[in-house]
Amino acid sequence: MKHINVALFVPDEGCPHRCSFCNQKTISGKTRKLTLSDIDKAVEIASEKGDGKGEIAFFGGSFTAIEKEYMLSLLQRAKMYIDKGLFEGIRISTRPDCIDKEILTVLKKYGVSSIELGCQSMNDEVLLLNGRGHTAEDVRRAAKLIKEYGFEFGVQMMTGLYGDSDELAVKTAESLIALSPDTARIYPTVVLEGTRLSELYEKGEYTPQTVEEAAELCARLLSMFEEKNIKVIRLGLHSGGNVEEGFVAGAYHPAFREICESKIYLSKILALIDKEQIPEGDITVEVNSKCVSALVGQKRCNIQKLRNMGYNCKVQQNDSYKKYDVSVRLTK
């Protein structure tokens, strides 16, 4: 038995307008309204294998701005399964300008435990250019309230938005870290068909990040959040839904997180080589067994890069090491 979460999508529900990058139907692969029997079916399947400690999560759309009667019916049905002890809590995601004391009181009453805010950027110009319809101040205000009410708090940010830059993304991460969230999700922008960004891209007015550019930046952001003990629970757009069919351009890769983690390992190895003045030759790198694949990199790219620099690298597993712990020594 393990933690099994149920992810339910309410695509576009509650959204006052369409943000530049968003095509919820492509992301979620869902084209119709979520029904109560959809919840029943999903819960039934998950609860058979789960340990009762998972969450029922409502993603997509702006949950707290959904038409009230419909929103309450979804919450009521989810709460029924929490009360039966089949799940531990409810997770929702919403817009920062759709949080106030009244809605937080309702969410508490229905057993919601975690709230994620789609922040995307903490730069007002970037928010405006991408049609978000809220400001960075709305994020700060909502974050404060969510924490005051005792919910687990998550933030979602994007990189490579229209008008954004690496420098602004780093500032966004710094501003979000200052809000002390429990979790973060980082999404490099993927241009999907049917979006405002795809029009700008076709007209040559917008250039999305490549996978390589986004991975360089996101590796840095991942380290920033994790150094502050903020768990990054998602890095890169999920490969489910119809993302591959609706893909136009941008930083999409099904193993995006591993690419970013590989970059972190390579920079750690290089820093150790530099610090300990390790001469070229045969080296042994130790890492936790769960991290070998990220250290080696896609198509063994890190091993190849080290070889090109004159280091023949042997990887040894050491399960006393934590994630991102790595050591380098000359092979005897």
Q: Which residues are near ligand SF4 by CB under 6 A?
A: 15, 18-19, 22, 24, 60-62, 95, 118
Residue 70 has, within 13 A of its CA and on its CB side, a CA count of 13
- Output 47 or 62, the one with its CB closest to ligand SF4: 62
Whichever of 15 and 266 has its CB closer to ligand SF4, that residue is 15
Residue closer to ligand SF4 (CB basis): 183 or 262: 183
Q: In the complex with ligand SF4, which residue's Cβ is closer, 124 or 226?
A: 124
| Residue 231: its H or E element | strand 231-235
Q: Least Å distance between CB 159 and ligand SF4?
A: 15
At closest approach, how far in Å is the CB of 118 from ligand SF4? 5
Least Å distance, CB 119 to ligand SF4, is: 11
State the nearest-atom distance from the C-beta of 243 to ligand SF4, in Å: 14
Alpha-carbon distances, residue 107 vs 27, 61, 100, 161, 190 (angstroms):
25, 16, 11, 31, 31
Task: Taking the CA atoms of 173, 118, 132 and 141 in sequence, report the sign of the dihedral they define.
Answer: negative
DSSP string, 96-113: GGG--HHHHHHHHHTTEE
Residue bearing tokens 């309702």: 106
Least distance from ligand SF4 to the Cβ atom of residue 23, Å: 8
One-character DSSP codes across 114-182? EEEEEEE-S-HHHHHHTT----HHHHHHHHHHHHHTT-EEEEEEEES-TT--HHHHHHHHHHHHTT--S
C-beta of 18 vs 305, nearer to ligand SF4:
18
Q: Is 81 or 187 the residue whose CB approaches ligand SF4 more closely?
A: 187
Nearer to ligand SF4, 21 or 81 (CB): 21
Nearest distance, CB of residue 134 and ligand SF4, angstroms: 9
State residue 181 phi and psi, 5-degree precision. Answer: -70, 160
We find the least distance from the C-beta atom of residue 285 to ligand SF4, in angstroms, to be: 41
Q: How far is the CB of 142 from ligand SF4 (least distance, A)?
A: 13
> At 267, phi and psi to the nearest 5?
-70, -30
Nearer to ligand SF4, 50 or 181 (CB): 181
Task: Please check whether residue 46 is in contact with residue 6, taking contact to mean a CB–CB distance below 8 angstroms.
Answer: yes
Cβ 36 to ligand SF4, closest distance in Å?
A: 21
> CA-to-CA distance for 137 and 96, rounded, in angstroms?
9
| Token digits of residue 144 | 């404060």
| Contact yes or no for 265/303 (Cβ under 8 A) | no
Distance CA 100, CA 279 (A): 59
Residue number with CB closer to ligand SF4 (15 or 92): 15
The β-bridge partners of 328 are 285
Q: Name the token pair of 87.
A: 């799940």
